[in-house]
Chains A and B, each alone.
Chain A
Amino acid sequence: MYLKKNIATSESGFIFNPSSGDSYNVNPVAAEILQQLKQGTALAAIKENILKDYEVEPMRLEQDLEDFMNQLKEANLLEN
């Protein structure tokens, strides 16, 4: 699962989809995940990285990641 190539992301959490004109605001953890997705990092590796950097239990992160990826899909930000 990759972020669409044309999606613009900023470190401060501002997301812009030029093909739809929609913009989004994300919180810091989400911004971090999006940066890594954009660089083509695999989900499993993203999970490892977040676990290393943030104070979070693996089970909770797994649940949150699944929920977040679903939200990205709903927002039409992921490559099919």
Chain B
Amino acid sequence: MKKMLYESPSIQKLNGGMMNKFGTRTEYEPVKQIDGVAVQTMMAQYGSPLFVLSERTIRRNYQNAVRAFKTRYPKVQFAWSYKTNYLNAVCKIFHQEGSWAEVVSGFEYRKAIGNGVPGNKIIFNGPEKTNEELELAVNNGSLIHIDHFDELYQLIILSDQLNKKPRVAIRVNMDTGIYPMWDRFGFNYENGQAFSALSKIVASGKMELIGLHCHIGTFMLSTDAYATAVKKLGDLAWKCKTQLNTSIQYIDLGGGFPSANTLRGSFLPGTDNVPSVDEFAEAITNGLLQLGFGADELPLLILESGRVLIDDAGYLLASVIANKRLSDGRRATILDAGVNLLFTSFWYDHKISPAQDFTQHSEDMVLYGPLCMNIDVIRQSINLPILNRGDKVVVHKVGAYNMTQWMQFIQMRPNVILIDEQGQTHLVRAAENLQYVEQPERMPEHLKPIDL
């Protein structure tokens, strides 16, 4: 006789109190495949844990975002935010689609050059730009976004030395009704600092002032804030035209559009309360068209979106190492992927699905990672079917920031694969090994011998 399917015995107290209006279960169906490729097959071939990126989703997200803006405004350019995910394969997909590069360090700048992006299509942001890096950017004709007065004067001196006119914009910070206000980057609009910087640039005669930039925040849930930003940048652009006799060629609104992830502590799930790219596009382009520029002098709109274009294209596949019962009776499940790989679990309640069939019985549990550190918690509380040692799970929407902010801490970083549009898998970053991690280390001679 064939034996019956086994599931760990579980008992759940039935509570007659208030119903949870969102239901209790998070998952009803196992996620057995991504873009038609079986989770089990990928993990058998590439190991566990494993990052998976969907090329189809990246391209679809990009094309949808471009469509949302281009159908509403004639001049739009996206620049891929390198810090969101600077795996070269990812950057190349965006560049193939027509995206420029937006970088915030010399390291990212060189990556963009290495990826074949022409210098004049690289936007150089960020508070730290060394003389050497700025020289490279000036010589390449890149768009340099000035962050502070020290950098402004640094560029004036450099342009003298190089006898070249850098192409520049300033980063502007402002009150858009969002709390906390981001005022650590760029020049403030309200106190007149931004216009003062613009005046100095024009008065120096050493630089070509071509744009205005702002980045009002991250994971913005309000489209109104963007409308306010457009109005204030538009005001500066008018002042440049009328008072400084300089036409602003582009307005760069940065990024900040949210993905559909659920922020920790959020009442509603992300899928319910996050505005769509179309809603942001509507607010931004309406604002731009109302600035009063003639059809032939409309500034180019640049967007540096990162998260919204890649978050849902990334998955983290992980395996269950163990189950245990905590002192208060809660179940704890330990996975082989922790906060070392999933930095975003500090901000989000990530959606997590089992990758194999399960019954309707579920339990509230804590999900821990493999690190021998108390901070390693993937989900404080999640209702999932009982997972057994060796079971697989899929963590959703992890494409943004994890593959750049991951830590080589206690464990090494695993393989990252890309599923192309034909359903073929490609290794795009190999798992680290001891040799790779120790390669930059040097051992002083006197520490070499040990005798235990």
Contacts and interface: CB of A to CB of B under 8 A. Distances in A.
A13 to B, nearest CB: 8
Given A67-B325, A71-B329, A54 B4 contact: yes
Interface in A63-80: 64-65, 67-68, 70-72, 74-75
A27 B361 contact: yes
Interface string B315-333: 0000000010100010000
B359 interface: yes
Given A67-B325, A70-B325, A71-B329, A29 B6 contact: yes
Contacts of A27: 7, 9-10, 359, 361, 386
20 contacts: A23-B13, A23-B14, A24-B12, A24-B13, A24-B14, A26-B12, A26-B361, A27-B361, A28-B359, A29-B7, A52-B3, A53-B4, A55-B4, A55-B5, A55-B6, A68-B10, A68-B11, A71-B329, A72-B11, A74-B329
A72 B13 CA distance: 11
A67 B8 CA distance: 9
Given A27-B359, A27-B361, A67-B325, A56 B6 contact: yes
A10 interface: no
A26 B10 contact: yes
A7 to B, nearest CB: 12
Interface in B385-417: 386, 388-389
A43 interface: no
Place the interface of chain B in its size category. 20 to 34
Contact of B11 (A30, A53, A61): A30
B23 to A, nearest CB: 16
Contacts of A53: 3-4
Contact of A25 (B12, B323, B389): B12
Nearest to A64: B8
A59 B12 CA distance: 24
A76 B323 CA distance: 23
Q: Is the interface of A mostly helix, strand, loop or mixed?
A: helix
Given A29-B9, A74-B329, 10 more contacts: A24-B14, A25-B361, A26-B10, A27-B359, A30-B11, A52-B3, A54-B4, A54-B5, A68-B10, A71-B329
A15 B359 CA distance: 19
Interface string B30-73: 00000000000000000000000000000000000000000000
A49 B359 CA distance: 22
Interface of A: 15, 22-30, 33, 50, 52-56, 60-61, 64-65, 67-68, 70-72, 74-75
Nearest to B13: A24
Contacts of B7: 27-29
Nearest to B3: A55
Interface of B: 3-14, 323, 325, 329, 359, 361, 386, 388-389
A61 B6 CA distance: 10
Contact of B9 (A25, A55, A64, A74): A64
Nearest to A54: B6
Nearest to A30: B9
Given A54-B3, A55-B3, A74-B329, A25 B8 contact: no
Nearest to B361: A27
Contact of A33 (B9, B12, B13, B386): B9
A63 B195 CA distance: 70
A27 B329 CA distance: 18
Contacts of B8: 29, 64, 67-68
Given A25-B14, A55-B3, A65 B325 contact: no
B183 to A, nearest CB: 52
Contacts of B14: 22-25
A30 B6 CA distance: 10
Contacts of A24: 11-14
A52 B389 CA distance: 21
Nearest to A61: B6
A28 B7 CA distance: 8
Contacts of A55: 3-6
A26 B11 CA distance: 4
Question: Which of B6, B7, B359, B389 counts the most chain A CB atoms within 10 A?
Answer: B6
Nearest to A31: B9
Nearest to B331: A67
